[in-house]
Amino acid sequence: MAQRPTRSAGLFLLGQIFIIAGLGYGLSYIPIGPQTVLWLLLVAVAWIGVLAVYVLGAAVDRVVDRLDTISKQLNRTPQE
């Protein structure tokens, strides 16, 4: 099993939320219409959804890999 660098999914998603919130705060000084605000909210929600699916996919991949390793260790016959 190859060692992968440990990544904190929670910190990654939190950072993305701060970026979106910062952009929202920056855009609050620009006069924009209600339709533009709704489109920006839709994009932000879609982006967080994509990131959540990515993080869950990576987590499932790691769990499957770990279960595969455990299964191989349990099926190994002792050599005498």
User: pLDDT tens digits, residue range 53-71?
Assistant: 888 888 888 899 999 999 8
Report the distance separating Cα 7 and Cα 2, nearest Å.
15
- Residue 68 is classified by DSSP as H
At 67 the pLDDT is 92
| C-alpha to C-alpha distances, 48 to 36, 57, 64, 68, nearest whole angstrom | 18, 14, 24, 30
What are the structural domain ranges in the chain? 33-75
At 8 the pLDDT is 72
3-state secondary structure 6-66: CCCHHHHHHHHHHHHHHHHHHHCCCCCCHHHHHHHHHHHHHHHHHHHHHHHHHHHHHHHHH
User: pLDDT tens digits, residue range 20-62?
Assistant: 788 778 877 888 888 988 888 898 889 888 888 888 888 888 8
